[in-house]
Amino acid sequence: MATKAKGKGTKKKTSESSAEKEENEVIADFEKHIYDLQQMLEISRSFCTTIELNPLVESILYIAMAQMRVTGAGIFVINELNDEKGYVLSDHYSGIAIDPTIEYRISVDSKLVEFFTQSNNVFTLPELKEYVPDAGKEFSMLETLSPSLVVPLILKNRLNGILVMGERIFIDGMESAYTNYERDEIQTIASLASVAVHNASLIEQASTDMMTHLKLKFFFFNILEDKLDNAFAQNEKLSILMFDIDFFKKFNDTYGHACGDYVLQHVAKIIKDSIRDEDMACRYGGEEFTVMLCNTDVEGAYLVAERIRKRIEETELVYENNKMNLTISGGISVFSVDDNPVRSARALVDQADKALYVSKANGRNRVSVADGEEIK
């Protein structure tokens, strides 16, 4: 009888252990869902606070890579400012190998884009080949990226981009294929990213001068205020360059306003090509341009300004068979906590503007530096 009683006790204990195990699994699963929801809130907050397209794309890439444990990722997006008729990869990628001989572009008229806009899902490349068998050209291009997953960024039946996930980082015991839970997770991230990309694209268009493709004055000052506050907090230098095309009126008067537009576009391109991605160039008004150089001291700012001035001076323009040369004058101001602690973006730009007019007064085609209220 004692043995029987012991047997019943063991059975009851085993049953309780099984129930406890099941309960612990439910709790663990619940806690994971709570954690993932908190992660999504943080991701959403990150996307919503980034209004510039390039930093936003960079943020999306790193978040997707971290969440899905992949070695790299890239995003195909439309450049509305350049009237692109396709989704291009451009430099919107990290950690994936690019073949320089291939144009990474997906036409807006392709079967692949049509399929994406009709199907709110994520796909492996073999799955896409099965669903869209006649998109051969795009598949050949995508295959060179070795994607583990292709994720459309859909918002209201509009394709705002295509996220390509690279090779997965395998951990012991982890399955090679994406689980349904992981697919749902990356799809949620893609939904948040699609809204952010759409909004950033609208801001990009609204804040950009259509002729020169440089930022407009109001947007430039808005960003400069933030950068100035950050430079003060981090004790960093922040430089402003102000440029004005010398004798610009003669181009309009001699060859017409279309020629003047051509000159503005040429100068804007040289300025934009001469600065880093983290810097910002602006069409300040008429033939004036402003540049913000982040974390740059006076020596660095002068090197950039001189590089721009020399490139413009050395370039010969041809407009309707007329050869033209032009020059540009520049002024520099530098924010410094110790030497020039101005707290107003307007004041810092005004200093550069005063330095610019020193250059004009001293013969043009040169760069002058402002030191606080004192012009050198």
DSSP per-residue string spanning 79-106: -GGGT-SEEE-TT-EESS---TTS--EE
> Tokens in use for 9?
């006790």
Name the 3-class secondary structure at 263.
helix
Catalytic member of 287, 314, 316, 374: 287
* Residue closest to 187 by CA, chosen among 160, 150, 228, 220: 150
Question: Do residues 104 and 89 touch, judged by C-beta distance below 8 A?
Answer: yes
Name the 3-class secondary structure at 371.
strand
Indicate if 287 belongs to the active site: yes
DSSP state of 350: H
Alpha carbons 215 and 275: distance in angstroms, whole number: 14
Burial of 243 (0-12, 13-18, 19+ CB in 10 A): buried
Alpha carbons 327 and 300: distance in angstroms, whole number: 21
Q: How many CB atoms lie within 10 A of CB 28?
A: 10
User: Tokens 């939904």 — which residue?
Assistant: 191
* Residue closest to 68 by CA, chosen among 152, 195, 189: 189
User: Tokens 């572009």 — which residue?
Assistant: 105
The radius of gyration of the chain's CA atoms, rounded to the nearest angstrom, is 28
Helix-, strand-, coil-residue percentages of the chain, each rounded to 5 = 50, 20, 30
Strands (E), the chain: 73-76, 86-88, 93-94, 105-107, 149-155, 158-165, 238-245, 280-285, 288-294, 316-319, 322-325, 328-335, 367-371, 374-375
Helices 217-234 and 345-361, axial angle in degrees (round to 10):
110
Which residues are the active-site residues?
287
